[in-house]
Structure 1
Amino acid sequence: MPDHAHLSGHTTPHGTPRHRTALVIGGASGIGAACAERLATEGTTVVVADLDEDGAARVATRITATGGAALPRRLDVTDPDAVARVVEEATAMRGGLRIAVNSAGIMGALRPLAELPPTDFEAVMRVNLYGVFHSMRYQLAAMADKGGVIVNLASIAAHSGFRGHAAYAAAKQGVLALTRTAAREYADRGIRVLSVSPGIVETPLITALPPGTTDGLVASVPLRRTARPAEVAAFVAFLVSDDASYLTGSDHIVDGGYLAK
């Protein structure tokens, strides 16, 4: 797809042009893909970045096929230089970088802590925590004094203990800390920073688990079902909108009532 294909302007349902660019990291599938597609329907130019280059291209093609504006980019979030290049490119696009959604993540090996190899722990931290750090570091610099919103994807695993999830939960707890800290540090630079903690969502991370792994969890959800990625994306779209202009530094749980027990 040509770099500047389908970059024509859009309007919101209220007729207001949306000259802004969003960078969705981890946008090739699951929640990230749903966020990219939802933001595009609202007239935002979306850079769909993911290690899965083919998946990012498929999402961008779906967006442009319906008249939206999207560019796919391969991105390894564990490579700070690669993150810097993608953020720089997004910043140079129409309206500048105003929205970032950091959704890239891996589950890693699900083992009791004492049986978890350090290499497996480190692999999860490099993607799920350090990847968010690298992304925010460049996103914040790009948005400073121009304004913007960053939404980080955390998890209910950061709020409740789950067997076998030591690395994943530790990384997501770190994401909450990065979110709160950056929100206080950059509020006076016009940047809002938030996190969303989804529960059990129908994403490749969940569907790839062994059969029956999540049965007990779903049974504990008051709504008695998993979430659809589009439901999480709808809430992310609200958070980055002007309607949420007084929200920053907060984590928002989207779990069908699981943590209400």
Structure 2
Amino acid sequence: MLAIDLRGKIAFVTGSSRGIGKSCAKTLAQAGAKVIINYNTNKEAALEVAKEIGGDTPIIQGDVTDPQKVEDMLNFIKEKYGRLDILVNNAGTTTEYNLEDLPVEDIQKIFEVNLFGTFYCTKFALPLMKENGGTIINISSTSMYTGAGGGAHYAASKSALLGFTRNLAKDYGQYNIRTNSIAVTMVNTELLINRKTGDLKSKIESVPVKRLCEPEEVGYLTAFLASDMAGYINGEVITMDGGRTYA
């Protein structure tokens, strides 16, 4: 029986106390990886994820927008495990404003979390991957192609991940470090359900498969990309949107 096997792999998933990150962490663990859970403010949620995974799953508090905190988190992984095989840059956020009404501080916040946080985590993770190889998976959004209603700052931050992903693929492929992105939309998480604009039912109708994407489905693709089954996939953005973007 063909199955994804990540036994013996060390994985770090940012923003993994809820939503997509939680599902990615749980799926990687189900495939055999040792997963480190990251949270910023919600320790109880992170502890619950660790409990669901079982074993001695560690949790690490750290704000990905703080480079010193990020370096500390990766140093913890280095001291405890000596290496890192899988990095999932999942931590992200958004707000909704038309550009003329967009607070300047929101522009800075979204870029700090969605882009700079990914830069910092990857920068400090790479030295832990260069000896044995590894895989980096950036969770992005189809707004990199289509824009996001009331979210120019969000779309721009996710578009930047395209160049980041492909540049890393070229620079670090020689070390057997693969970098890919998953561009998602309409994922059934609190972030989607709590958004202010638009009617969710009509948005679901705009998806050819007529449903939301479940976080677990993103987790499955993440586990595949992290595995040797995807060993020749590098520098790609895989769109996961039920056909909505190009329908």
**If the length of structure 1 is used for normalisation, what is the TM-score?**
0.89
With a CA cutoff of 8 Å and minimum separation of 6, indicate the structure with the bigger relative contact order: 2
* Mapped contact 2:4–2:227 kept (Cα < 8 A): no
- Structure 1, unaligned runs of 5 or more: 1-11
1:77 to 64, 75, 78: 64
Change in 2 beyond 3 A, CA 1:103/1:41: same
Q: Which runs of 5+ in 2 are unaligned?
A: none
Q: Which of residues 179, 182, 203 in structure 2 aligns to 1:196?
A: 182
Could you tell me how far apart the structure 1 residues matched to 2:215 and 2:74 are?
A: 24
Contact 1:20/1:96 (CA < 8 Å) preserved in 2?
no
Do 1:22 and 1:44's aligned partners in 2 also have CA atoms closer than 8 Å? yes
- Whole-Å separation in 1 of the counterparts to 2:47 and 2:138: 22
> What amino acid does structure 1 have at the position aligned with 2:53?
I
Sort the Cα spacing of 1:258 and 1:86 in 2 relative to 1 into closer, same or farther, 3 A.
Answer: same
CA positional deviation for 1:95: 6.7
Residue of 20, 32, 47 corresponding to 1:31: 20
Tell me, yes or no, if the aligned pair for 1:202 and 1:228 is still in contact at 8 Å. yes
Distance in 1, matches of 2:65 and 2:107, equals 14
Q: In terms of mean alpha carbon deviation, does 149-158 or 134-143 score higher?
A: 134-143
Match of 2:211 in 1: 225
Aligned 8 A contact 2:185 2:240 in 1: yes
Taking the aligned partners of 2:73 and 2:15, their CA distance within structure 1 comes to 13
Shift of 1:72: 1.0
Q: What one-letter code is carried by the residue in structure 2 that aligns with 1:46?
A: V
Encode CA deviations 1:112-165: one digit per residue, 9 max, x unaligned: 111111111111111111111111111112211320000001101111022201
Q: Deviations over 1:17-68 (max 9, x none)?
A: 822210000101111000100011111110000113222111111111xxx5
Bigger Cα displacement from structure 2, 50-59 vs 210-219: 210-219
Counterpart amino acid of 1:171? S
Equivalent residues, number: 246
Match of 1:184 among 136, 157, 170: 170
1:145 has 2:131 as partner: yes
Determine the structure 2 residue equivalent to 1:205: 191
2:52 is aligned to 62
State the alpha-carbon separation in 2 of the partners of residues 224 and 14 from structure 1: 29
Structure-1 residue corresponding to 2:241: 255
2:89–2:139 Cα contact (<8 Å) kept: yes
Counterpart secondary structure, 1:193: strand
Counterpart of 2:146?
Answer: 160
Indicate the RMSD between aligned Cα atoms, in angstroms: 2.0
Distance, in Å, in 2 between the alignment partners of 1:99 and 1:14 is 18
State, as a whole percentage, how many aligned pairs show the same letter.
34
Counterpart amino acid of residue 249 in structure 1: G
Report the equivalent of 1:216: 202
SS in 1 for 2:135: strand
Write the distance in 1 (CA, Å) between the matches of 2:158 and 2:112.
Answer: 12
Which range moved further: 55-64 or 205-214? 205-214
TM-score norm. by structure 2 comes to 0.94
Note the C-alpha offset of 1:91: 2.9
The verdict on how the C-alpha distance between 1:117 and 1:212 changes in structure 2, with shifts beyond 3 A counting, is closer
